[in-house]
Amino acid sequence: MTDTRERQLFGTDGIRGVAGQYPLDRRTVEIIGRALGIRLAAQHPGVQVVIGQDTRESSEWIAELLARGLASQGVKAVEAGIITTPGVAYLARARAFAAGIVISASHNPWHDNGIKVFGHDGYKLSDAIEHEIEAEIFRELEQPNVAAEDRALTGLPPDPELHAAYVRWLAQSVAGELKGIRALVDCANGATAALGPEVLRACQVEAEFLNINPDGRNINAGCGALHPDAVAQAVLERSRKGRHFDLGITFDGDGDRALFSDAEGRVVNGDAVLLLAARQMKRHGSLRGDTVVATTMSNMGLEAALRREGIRMLRAPVGDKYVLEQMQKTGAALGGEQSGHIIFRDGDSTTGDGMLTALRVMAAMAERRASLAELTADLKVFPQVITNIRVREKKPLAEVPPVQQAIARAERELGTEGRLVVRYSGTEALARVMVEAESESEMRRVADEVSGVIRHELGE
């Protein structure tokens, strides 16, 4: 169940910040390891955890300091090296680790980093458990000299078998033949830079790769799932030169989501993937309850397209952990976000996995002998705009009367022909205003009005 209390460290996707600054300074990182170790040792004495990381230059030292903190409580960390977030979730559940820890800030710039934790079952921690860990962190921070800040870092040697086990699992997860599919793949200079080529090679996909040379600072830099137009444009340019691809695939920095381009260079987002996957799963009898879980950000057009297929769409709060929570509550086998987090629960996956999503999309194309454009052609999206406003504080919107008045006015004006969603980012100091409407001019007018009020009341 979602815990509605405000967390001070954990956002919707773990603890994030600027590497080297609180709460990701050396002392606090080691204390986070201690706090996790205290909890894990109390439940499972003598246990091990697996740690994986993305390609940021700070990931290695954060991993080592976390391992030190864990070791102080008798918990051993086993290093998986550079691997995706869902790779760590898989290893936690498949290799009987007490927990899996990922060092990554996903789609954020290189100077940010983060710590997210999976339980031994491969699921993200509940809000309630994160509250308990936070409390322990703050207790530890109050103690003097809990963590030494000047010891040399030596690096943790990764276990290559962990990496190989995840690659094997992904390759074996695909039902059907992918040989001959041609894909142009953007790995965002992130965690999929090494894994992507291995997995697609194992599945006999004819792939060309972009952004597979991480240098510690180029992760997500003008590439990856934050910039899906980049791979779409690359598909189009190569087509004009006679090099045809069936699709483009683009991952984010930690590999837990994927977006796509069709063969004509048109971006295919997570809503379209949910429609494609829902039809495929219903065809195979694995779409439990004929239900899909999306979020408040998914387009009204997706809801309409699913309804035509006899499929019910439920909406969860933004954040893949909340999508999963709703899936578990309702028994749904498919859920996801417009941003490309897609969760398949007809197998043993426990979180969004960009590479698994890509394999499932290609499997649907191969089975149906249809292009990506054909499989998503009837998704008629309402015009949508998302405006980000940098804020000086995340004051509850209900406590800002002018903002509430602007929202109420906009909702009256949109009526049943549009939607407005206003929320704070879970990982950044941003307020997000999403507006959908049948009329693009109406959509932009409403977005500008609500954003303007938020900027005036809360902006930096």
The active-site residue, picked from 58, 59, 104, 106, is 106
What's the CATH code, domain 384-458? 3.30.310.50
CA gap 362, 366 in Å, rounded = 6
Cα dihedral 40/46/52/56 (nearest 10) = 80
> What residue ranges of the chain are covered by domains with CATH 3.30.310.50?
384-458
Per-residue pLDDT of the chain (460 residues; tens, 9 = 90+): 444 445 589 887 899 999 999 999 999 999 999 999 999 998 777 789 999 999 999 999 999 999 999 999 999 999 999 999 999 999 999 998 999 999 999 999 999 999 999 999 999 988 889 999 999 999 999 887 655 455 656 667 889 999 999 999 999 998 778 999 999 999 999 999 999 999 999 999 999 999 999 999 999 999 999 999 999 999 999 999 999 999 999 999 999 999 999 999 999 999 999 999 999 999 999 999 999 999 988 998 899 899 999 999 999 998 888 999 999 999 999 999 999 999 999 988 999 999 999 999 999 999 999 999 999 999 988 898 999 999 999 999 999 999 999 999 999 999 888 899 999 987 789 999 999 998 899 999 999 999 999 999 999 8
Give strand pairing partners of 76: 48
Q: In the sheet that 182-186 helps form, which strands lie side by side, from edge to edge?
A: 206-210, 182-186, 247-251, 258-261, 267-268
Radius of gyration over every alpha carbon of the chain, rounded to an integer in angstroms: 22
Architecture of the domain delimited by 10-160: 3-Layer(aba) Sandwich (3.40)
What is the three-class DSSP state of 332? Answer: coil
Contact 457, 431 (CB under 8 A): no
CA gap 350, 121 in Å, rounded = 8
**Catalytic status, residue 106:** yes
Q: What is the pLDDT of residue 13?
A: 82
What backbone phi and psi angles, to 5 degrees, belong to 209? -115, 140
Which CATH number is 173-375's, of 3.40.50.300, 3.30.1340.10, 3.40.120.10, 3.40.190.10? 3.40.120.10
Would the pTM of this model clear 0.85, i.e. be above it?
A: yes
Q: How far is CA 440 from CA 45, 201, 266, 446, 453, in A?
A: 59, 43, 20, 10, 20
> What residue ranges of the chain are covered by domains with CATH 3.40.120.10?
10-160, 173-375
Q: What is the pLDDT of residue 452?
A: 97
Q: What is the pLDDT of residue 1?
A: 44
